[in-house]
Amino acid sequence: MSESEKAVALITHVKHFIGPAAVNRLLREEMTVVCHDRTFSDAGARAAFQSEQPGAAILTATEPAEIAAELADRFGRLDALISNDPYPAIRAPIDEADPEDFRRALEALAVWPFALIAKTSAMMKRRRSGRILMLTSAAPLTGIPNYSIYAAARGTANAMVPTLARELARWGISVNAVAPNYIKNPDYFPPELLANQEAMAKMLKNIPLGRLGESEEVAELVALFAGGRCDFVTGRVIPIAGGWA
């Protein structure tokens, strides 16, 4: 298959959340893997990432409109969008929570991906095909006391999925979310937390499978959707949380 014939998959914020594992997994697919990160506006950051992932294509654009324009200019198509959006899970009882923290969480976890989907779905409509996969969280499916900011922002993203799926289905575009929780990743389970035996023992009691999940397990689901092997599934939020959700 020539480079021009390969499907193009975009992964956002590749240095965070499920990004590293998703890049590694999709590079084994027969597709062009395009990577976005806010740090890639810096040439040094792009070069460092390229040396780590020589098979990846790197965007210089960092914001939704510019990302869509660069994709159109360089690749002329987008077959799969993996919206991988991180933001800290701030612990705050509701009577102490700062509304400004809530606004920032909504911007990062709902408004930013909404804007990117708005811009990139137009490219998919022209080809009458495409796959949109949001990497969100299982937190709003069950609820976590004192984490209303994070759960509500992630819940907003989850709520987009069934509506956008119905809206975009006529153009052959599927929309789904993979919703992790209790998954090892650099943003939510850093090494210092994993090394805290007391905290981990308390946490593991909540997980029916009795362990944390691996980012690579989430990446397998990403590859399943991005690779087009389950295109008849749309409008679903799929938890991956060891039975917790």
Identify the pLDDT of residue 5.
81
Q: How crowded is residue 148: how many other Cβ atoms within 10 Å of its Cβ? A: 19
Question: Could you read off the pLDDT of 175-234 as tens digits, one per residue?
Answer: 999 999 999 998 999 999 999 999 999 999 999 999 999 999 999 999 999 999 999 999
Query: In 3D, which of 158, 180, 239 has the Cα closest to residue 18?
Result: 180
| Distance (Å) of CA 119 to CA 23, 39, 63, 145 | 22, 21, 10, 35
Question: Annotated catalytic residue: which of 87, 147, 150, 182?
Answer: 150
Q: For the stretch 209-240, what's the b/e string if a residue is b when 16 or more beta carbons lie within 10 angstroms of its beta carbon? A: eeebbebeebbebbbebbbbeeeeebbbbbbb
pLDDT band per the 50, 70, 90 thresholds, residue 140: very high
Q: pLDDT of 94-126, one tens digit each?
A: 999 999 999 999 999 999 999 999 999 999 999
150 is known as an active-site residue: yes
- Taking the C-alpha atoms of residue 78 and residue 125, their distance in angstroms, rounded to an integer, is 10
Q: What's the rounded mean pLDDT across residues 36-46? A: 98
Instruction: Please tell me which residue, 5 or 72, carries the higher pLDDT value.
Output: 72
Please say if the pLDDT value at position 2 is more than 70. Answer: no
Interval 86-98 mean pLDDT = 97
Distance CA 37, CA 21 (A): 15
Give the pLDDT of residue 76.
96
Find all residues with CB under 8 Å of 162, minimum gap 6, and list them: 235, 236
Q: Can you tell me the distance from the alpha carbon of 127 to that of 98, in angstroms, rounded to the nearest whole number?
A: 43
- The percent of residues in the chain predicted with pLDDT above 90, rounded, is 97
> Residue 46: how many CB atoms within 10 A of its CB?
17
Domains of the chain: 3-240 (3.40.50.720)
